[in-house]
Structure 1
Amino acid sequence: MPETTTPATELTSQYVAQVTGDLERNVKEQERLTTEIASLQERLAAVQHDHTVLVSIQQALGVTRAPAQTAAESESAAVPSPRQKTGAARGGKRKTRTSTASPQQAAPKKPGAKPANAAKAAQVTLVELIRRHLLELREPRSAAEISAALGQAHPERQFADKVVRVTLEGLVAKSQAERTKQGRSVFYTAPKSAAAPESKTQHAETEH
């Protein structure tokens, strides 16, 4: 019996030593891998931080992210990248076409001189227009006749008879127009003091 137990004990001790050695190596391998994983995680965090910084700089420079996407795709597959580059080139051509077309679209804005002249004419007040018209009259005219004459002379503006009549009454109150009444009708003319110089000039012209 002692002879059989001795080899078994030695065999058990060998297994124990081997298992103990394997456990020690396993623990050391776990420690090594844990250290490598921690180091890789730190490197990954640093790389991600650099990526965030580069993207913010790219956006600040006004560069689109299309080139970065094509580069990433070119690493995974070489075929799709030329298609996207050609698409980008086509997009560039389209942009140049739209940019060249913009001056042509801006060209038709030149005929805006007529509305500008109309706006300048509209800036003349109604009072001034009526005063000028009264100076040109040789006979008294009613408010309706003056309104119609102003409408023909300035078709871009609208003249209401009531507004013209109120304006004429205001000129009469300021002695810048004269009012005569014939029956129920009221007529307006320029004041004699304003019409006198014109009559003198007309008389001088007839003498020449």
Structure 2
Amino acid sequence: MSENTPTSGISADYAQRITDDLAANRREQDRARAELTRLQEELVQLEEGEQILVKMQEVLGAAEKPAPGRSKVRKAAASVPAARRAKSGTATRKTGDAPKSRARAGRQAPAGKTAASKAASLKGAGEPTWRELVTGYLADQREPKSAAEVAAALTEAHPQRTPQVTVVRNTLEQGVAHGLLERSKQGRSVYYSPVPASELEAAGASAK
């Protein structure tokens, strides 16, 4: 047992030293983390302070720079008697209405011009209405057609307008309401056909 004592003592010393070093390392880690946190917080405070100072500098810079000609205007106003300033103010108020009215007229003119140009372009285009397209197509058909069939035919004939089935159906129903078209049902499907010319003539004669 006496031979193992020195070795055991050396091992114990090394173990204790490692334990102490490990504890010191962990303390340094904690200190570094705390320092890092403090530095981060300090950096955030400095950045916020910088933003505040920049804003104050901008405000002070704008206040220190007078508008061009402001000093001359103040001197001229000081040299003009009060009575003359009052008269000039009255004249300014009277004549100031004209520019405002001209400005309002200028704003209204483009809007009216735009609406007129749109109306002229639509009128000049000469494109038939949906009702004309629908009634014209059905007039050439020998059998009643559904809204989907009418929409498909008009899409093929007028691809630039791309009619939707809902629009065509609404147009067909309007034609029925105005006595231009007839509605018939086959099962769950609804079909439309033009009113015969004789019935239209009879309706027109009775209306007279």
The TM tier, using the shorter chain, reads 0.3 to 0.5
User: Normalising to structure 2: TM-score of the pair?
Assistant: 0.35
Answer with 1 or 2: which has the greater Rg. 1
